Structure 1
Amino acid sequence: MRERANRTTIRRVAREAGVSVTTVSNYLNGRHSQMSAATRERVREAIERLGYHPNHVARSLATRRTATIGLIISELTNALYPPVILGAEAACRQAQYSLLLANAPDAGSERRAVELMRRKQVDGLILFSVSFIDIANDHLLRAHEEGVPIVVINRTMPEGAPIPRVVLDNFRGAYLATRHLVELGHRRIAHIAGPSNRFTGLDRRAGYLAALAEAGLESDPRLVVEGDYSFESGYQGMRTLLDHRPSAVFVGGDAMALGALRAIRDSGLRVPDDLSLVAFGNPDFVHYATPALTTVDLPIVEAGQIAVELLLERIAVPETPEETRVLQPGLLVRESAIPLA
């Protein structure tokens, strides 16, 4: 049957790209690992030249899929979390998928969000969670057992749980931050830690202690205070630490770092002339701090991209084994930390 002149079909895309219809189908369904980069590029260019738009209704009827991924985020008001949407949306767009977003700031709303996503018949779920150590996972494990592909970011899971994870290496980031201060000659290095009921707080504290130990420096318990990632806890923590005269401070969260910066100024001291400071996270708002904050940069956008890639693999091949992908942070050296005079 001759194709209509005013309608671009998958067969026409295949002829234009010089590939099979199956290859174009694999591309449209996110099975990119099954083809070379050159083939992917030929298919993408053919789709763009011809202005091809998949018939998602027909495809969903044929495959029982909706070409939609659900993304549940626990802290949309936390500036560190939304960039994951950028990475996830870019990866979905490339795979011809839509992204359905939900905010779930507590355990109850997370359960409801998971059920809502399932009623919307998303093809898979991604959860970017608050890092509580004792977070409940039974609803995720049950959904997985019932055939829903799931990937989690920044979340602890039971030993042996068959759900893929994207992990940000908080220990490594804290180690890099503290080692930077050690290399600048600082010896009395304080730490405003995250809460002890979150593995991000514990991992960053462990990285701080590891860098001190590697440098042969004893940790002073008076130089460690615990915050809750808020501006206010950073302010109060820094006021406490100033009584013990550190020469530098590693702050385990950027909102806390801004609070610490204010406390230092209110005490008549200056950063970095009187006290060096390194922060953690690098959300957009720290770009406006004065001085510019040296901080650990977490690859949040990349986490969103990789989570979608892992999910698409499991949508295409449900038997794909569980995988943990660890993403490494970097240190952005700016103006808030200088050599000890």
Structure 2
Amino acid sequence: MSLALLYDGYTGSVERGGRRRIMRSKHVTVRQVAREAGVSVATVSHYLNGRYSEMSAATRERVQATIERLGYRPNELARSLARRRTATIGLIISSLTNSLYPLVILGAEAACRRAEYSLLLADAPDVESERRAVDLMRRKQVDGLILFSISLIGIANEHLFRAQAEGTPVVVINRDLPAEAPISQIQFDNFRGAYLATKHLIELGHRRIAHITHPLNRFTAISRRAGYTAALAEAGLEHDPSLVVSGDYSFESGYEATRSLLERQPSAVFVGSDAMAAGALRALRDTGREVPRDLSLVAFGNPDYIRYSTPALTTVDLPIAEAGAIAVELLLERIGEPEAPAQTRVLQPKLLIRETTAPPQPRRKEVGEQP
């Protein structure tokens, strides 16, 4: 099948006062640019597509000057049809309300803008809605897909493998995916982030360090808990299972988990998410505890409200925006070279020490407590 331009809108030129003027139609075409610049249509096409390494500087300048003088704008639809590309990337995320997810959108959008691509966004909180979003975006003929997923263990991936096999490249962020999968992936080193947080508390002198984790059907929760226990073991500290409680990522669960831990008298708490840490901070205030005087607190995640909390939360910062930009770069590589092998990038977190951690202090007596 071939495409043909049936009418290019060219109306010719006339001489007026010894000067040649273009009689412009509604749309300036490549053929007009070529004729006015005194070059072939192929030369203009090569210039527009960046293939001018063997073109003389004088020719490039003449073509560019003609484009500017005529006000030529490429017909992106026609170019997309010719290249069988739409210069559009689909981004599917599992939550538009999660405080971290907008950061990946910002990173991906900036990378798309640099590459002159558009970004199509969809919210898919579960696998079924994710399947529908993938199908819809493929019908919209996006050039590739990025998914920033919930971290469920054993999540279904068949629809992504099928899209990749049928010519729509896929890159995933934060997804449970086999290492040998044909899809490029970006992961965060959750183990190291938790290890750094716990080690920081140990170095301050804390020995009874509690951990508020997530449901253990999330591989991120397993990795963070492993990092926490590894730091304890390295310091020769016994792991006390009673100091580990589970939340569900929410403010409320962090609040309740923290209140349940207080009777076990930890001197510090490592909280596995930013929202739960905000809930923990409120629970400590409501029970009359001062942070970090009575208890140190470390969060995981760094949305804006974390650094503007009172006191500002010490936290593990994940490079979320960077992940969005890298995902676009990996996807563009697969779009340009469909047979290129899948890649895996593991991004490193960093610990941001703020106002909620300090060396442990002698415990103050509770109101009504006997000496």
Q: Tell me if TM exceeds 0.5.
A: yes
Q: Deviations over 1:181-229 (max 9, x none)?
A: 1111111111001110111111111111111111111111111111111
- Residue 59 of structure 1 deviates from its aligned partner by 1.4
Partners of 2:355 and 2:303 lie apart in 1 by 16
Check the 8 A contact 2:147/2:171 in 1, yes or no: yes
Check the 8 A contact 2:172/2:327 in 1, yes or no: yes
Are 1:228 and 2:252 matched, yes or no? Answer: no
* TM-score (structure 2 length as normaliser): 0.79
Asked which structure has the greater CA Rg, the reply is 2
Structure 2 unpaired stretches of 5+:
1-11, 14-21, 37-43, 52-63, 362-371
Partners of 1:53 and 1:83 lie apart in 2 by 33
Are 1:168 and 2:188 matched, yes or no? Answer: yes
Partners of 1:291 and 1:8 lie apart in 2 by 61
Partners of 1:296 and 1:139 lie apart in 2 by 33
Aligned to 2:123: 103
Question: SS of the counterpart of 2:101?
Answer: coil
Aligned to 1:260: 280
Aligned residues: 317
Partners of 1:76 and 1:215 lie apart in 2 by 39
Aligned to 1:302: 322
RMSD value, Cα: 2.8
**Identity percentage of aligned residues:** 69
Partners of 1:157 and 1:310 lie apart in 2 by 16
Partners of 2:179 and 2:216 lie apart in 1 by 21
Alignment of 1:33-182 (within 5 A): 54-182=74-202
* TM-score (structure 1 length as normaliser): 0.86
Aligned to 1:37: none
Aligned to 1:185: 205
Instruction: Pick 1 or 2: higher relative contact order, CA cutoff 8 A, min separation 6.
Output: 1
Amino acid at match of 1:338: A
- Residue 287 of structure 1 deviates from its aligned partner by 2.5
Are 1:287 and 2:311 matched, yes or no? Answer: no
Q: Deviations over 1:163-185 (max 9, x none)?
A: 00011111111111111111111
Q: Deviations over 1:98-146 (max 9, x none)?
A: 0000000111110000000001000000000000012111111111111
Partner residue of 1:201 out of 221, 235, 240: 221
Amino acid at match of 1:179: K
Question: SS of the counterpart of 1:205?
Answer: helix
Question: SS of the counterpart of 1:82?
Answer: helix
Check the 8 A contact 2:185/2:343 in 1, yes or no: yes
Are 1:316 and 2:342 matched, yes or no? Answer: no
Question: SS of the counterpart of 1:101?
Answer: strand
Structure 1 unpaired stretches of 5+:
13-19, 28-45
Partner residue of 1:336 out of 345, 353, 356: 356
Amino acid at match of 1:90: A
Question: SS of the counterpart of 1:326?
Answer: strand
Question: SS of the counterpart of 2:334?
Answer: helix
Check the 8 A contact 2:169/2:334 in 1, yes or no: yes
Aligned to 2:49: 25
Q: Deviations over 1:148-175 (max 9, x none)?
A: 1000000011342100001111111111
Check the 8 A contact 2:294/2:360 in 1, yes or no: no
Check the 8 A contact 2:85/2:143 in 1, yes or no: yes
Partners of 1:141 and 1:200 lie apart in 2 by 22
Q: Deviations over 1:226-264 (max 9, x none)?
A: 111111111111111111101111000010001111111
Are residues 56 and 233 of structure 1, via their aligned partners in 2, closer, same or farther at CA, if it must alter by over 3 Å? same
